[in-house]
Amino acid sequence: MKYRSTRGGMAPLEFSDILLEGLAPDGGLALPESLPKISSETLEAWRELNYAQLATEVLGLFITDIPRADLARLTAAAYNNQVFDTPDIVPVKPLDNGLSLLGLSQGPTLAFKDMAMQFLGQVFEYVLAKRNSTLNILGATSGDTGSAAEYALRGKKGVSVFMLSPHGRMSDFQRAQMYSLQDDNIHNIAVKGVFDECQDIVKSLAGDLDFKSRYHLGAVNSINWARIAAQVVYYFWGWLRATTGPGQQVSFAVPSGNFGNILSGHLAREMGLPVRRLVLATNENNVLEEFFRTGIYRPRSAAQTHATSSPSMDISRASNFERFVFDLVGQDAARVAQLWQQLSQSGEFDLSGLKSQFEARYGFVAGVSTHADRLATIRSVHAATGVIIDPHTADGVKVARPFVEAGIPMLVLETALPAKFNDTIVEAIGQPAQPPAHLGHLGSLPQKVEIMDCDTALVRRYIEQHAKV
């Protein structure tokens, strides 16, 4: 399996070669040269596999430059009952009226990003050791992604993490989760500023190419192909758990931000998984819903992006969307390059001519959920079932409801556990959700964090002193 760029300007590369990179050299995103197809016989044979074994099968299709036995070791280390707090890894939890939750949030940070990040941590360590190389991950986080990366990379050989977070602006739970990590290779830097200022420092340091190469700086952002590939696995898993025989269809509803999660669903469907619909849910930041309704893609500025009660979906620009558009325009890389050039010039592009394909060919439908919808959905699900769902998952449930069809299971991806977002839970049902028992002591653990003025030079000096070289 070799990889190419959505914009056509990259010589074919192996998985390990694109693993540590962000954008392709032409500014595009890496995709397989051709997508593997899965027959229904193969699917049926996968029913008896556990999660790690299924991950080996699915990831083995995308990763052909790592021996199968090694890959099996990596998936077993990523997906087990020490890391995830249920032996199933991803439980399917029936809700009501044909809906079930696909439980993607049983990992260490209680959100679905652990699913991909745990594998990424294993495969980074493996490839770096093979190449006798080191990597210093530099990132900024307002909560979720950064902590998932830290939990995945803690203690890994050859990798350090430098994670900037806005001082005093994360929840107690998020702070306790990140700053209680005591591993030598994890560096939490609380910057006296807002998230955007943290992000600016990261951009400035990563944009200094000399500094970047001297200190082997890397990132683990949402366009990383290994993350997308690892997420494909749970669509197969969800289908296998929700069906009993060949050809049965399942729909998935996905709380979406950067279009990473649902892109993996699209790939699974293109590989032949019998998926009826992919239901894309946005919050008030409905750039993607607008596209699937009108065919016009119009990203917004940071100033036009609302801070909502499903904060991990507050995006202005969907960084993975280009990979879907590549398929939509018939894998015409020149067309993709032209669309993104147009985007940079006029701030939008128009694919309304292809609108009839969105659902008919690709199964995509979309909807918006607002703060009032989230509260009402959390409340109604709790009243009907006793289950407390998190605000992002509630967006998924709200948008999924009108698309439920008799005889076709609707799996809503549970992208976080409610205890992470208790302000909204209390607002909805008047009581907080309990964190999993094994995290009850989190708040009392000692915290390790470097508090710094909002100054690029200070962060630069800290990295010079602490980076793995």
Ligand X SMILES: *Cc1c(COP(=O)(O)O)cnc(C)c1O
β-strand partners of 165: 190
Closest CA to 6 of 30, 23, 22, 25: 30
**Based on CB atoms, which residue is closest to ligand X, 181 or 416?**
416
| Least distance to ligand X, CB of residue 249, Å | 23
In the set 111, 217, 279, 428, which binds ligand X (CB under 6 A)? Answer: 111
What is the distance between the alpha carbons of residues 239 and 47, in angstroms, rounded to a whole number? 10
Contact 259, 385 (CB under 8 A): no
* Pairing, β 99-103 against β 92-94: antiparallel
The 295-324 site mask, x for binding ligand X (CB under 6 A), equals -----------------xx-----------
193, 433, 469 from 265: Cα distances, Å: 36, 29, 38
What are the percentages of helix, strand and coil residues in the chain, rounded to 5?
A: 50, 15, 35
Residue found by looking up tokens 């019998």 in the block: 274
| Least distance to ligand X, CB of residue 44, Å | 29
256 is a contact residue toward ligand X (CB under 6 A)? yes
Six token digits for residue 250: 């399942």
**Based on CB atoms, which residue is closest to ligand X, 167 or 227?**
227
What is the distance between the alpha carbons of residues 183 and 322, in angstroms, rounded to a whole number? 36
Catalytic residue among 2, 37, 93, 113: 113
| Least distance to ligand X, CB of residue 144, Å | 4
Please give the residues from 257 up to 276 whose contact with ligand X meets the rule CB under 6 A: 257-261
| Least distance to ligand X, CB of residue 369, Å | 12
Closest CA to 261 of 289, 233, 295: 233
**Based on CB atoms, which residue is closest to ligand X, 325 or 416?**
416
Six token digits for residue 337: 């390059």
The 378-417 site mask, x for binding ligand X (CB under 6 A), equals --------------x----------------------xx-
Six token digits for residue 26: 């032409």
**Based on CB atoms, which residue is closest to ligand X, 188 or 264?**
264
**Based on CB atoms, which residue is closest to ligand X, 243 or 422?**
422
Helices 68-78 and 51-62 cross at an angle (nearest 10°) of 130
For residue 130, indicate whether it is catalytic: no
Number of residues that bind ligand X (CB under 6 A): 16
Active site residues: 113
List residues binding ligand X (CB under 6 A).
111, 113, 144, 222, 255-261, 312-313, 392, 415-416
